[in-house]
């Protein structure tokens, strides 16, 4: 009986650790994918773009694209990640920009550009 407990307890602990790690990974990967972003009231008027985020070698990175042509505008130079939000940094229109996004629900984010302009976003779904 004691030998069974000596095997069972470590196995249960290992299972618990794996489960916690997978849940943490799911939360961090919420932002992976394509997002339609809308920024209101910039000096150039309202701005729309696509933010495409992916995880490579454990690091979140991505690109910013024009919504009409899908041409790449900029590479994301850095992403700061927290459990429910990210800040993505990129260069566009001659400026270093920061885009803060906070998880609103499964398909929407809210935030700001440069801590000055309100931003909203919606997850893009792939056409089937």
Range of the structural domain that residue 83 is part of:
31-123
Distance (Å, whole) CA 10 – CA 69: 55
Q: Does a structural domain hold residue 3? A: no
Backbone angles phi, psi at 78, to 5 degrees: -165, 150
Q: How far apart are CA 90 and CA 79, in angstroms?
A: 9
CATH code, domain with 35: 2.40.128.120
Q: For the whole model, what pTM was predicted?
A: 0.77
Classify residue 107: in a domain, yes or no.
yes
Helix (H, G, I), strand (E, B) or coil at 43: coil
Say if 99 falls within a structural domain: yes
Region of residue 113 (left: phi > 0; alpha: psi -120 to 50; beta: else): beta
Let me know if residue 12 belongs to a domain: no
pLDDT, tens digit only, all 128 positions of the chain: 556 656 556 555 555 555 544 444 455 599 999 999 999 999 989 999 999 999 999 999 999 999 999 999 999 999 999 989 999 999 998 999 999 999 999 999 999 999 999 999 999 997 65
């Amino acid at each position: 009986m004691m030998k069974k407990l000596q095997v069972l307890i470590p196995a249960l602990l290992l299972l618990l650790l794996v489960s916690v790690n997978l849940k943490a990974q799911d939360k961090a990967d919420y932002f992976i994918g394509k997002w339609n972003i809308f920024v209101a009231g910039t000096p150039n008027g309202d701005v729309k773009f696509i933010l495409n985020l992916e995880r490579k070698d454990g690091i979140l990175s991505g690109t910013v694209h024009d919504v009409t042509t899908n041409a790449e505008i900029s590479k994301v130079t850095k992403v700061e990640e927290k459990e429910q939000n990210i800040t993505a940094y990129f260069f566009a229109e001659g400026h270093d920009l920061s885009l803060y996004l906070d998880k609103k629900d499964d398909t929407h984010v809210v935030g700001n550009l440069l801590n000055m302009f309100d931003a909203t976003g919606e997850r893009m779904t792939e056409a089937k």
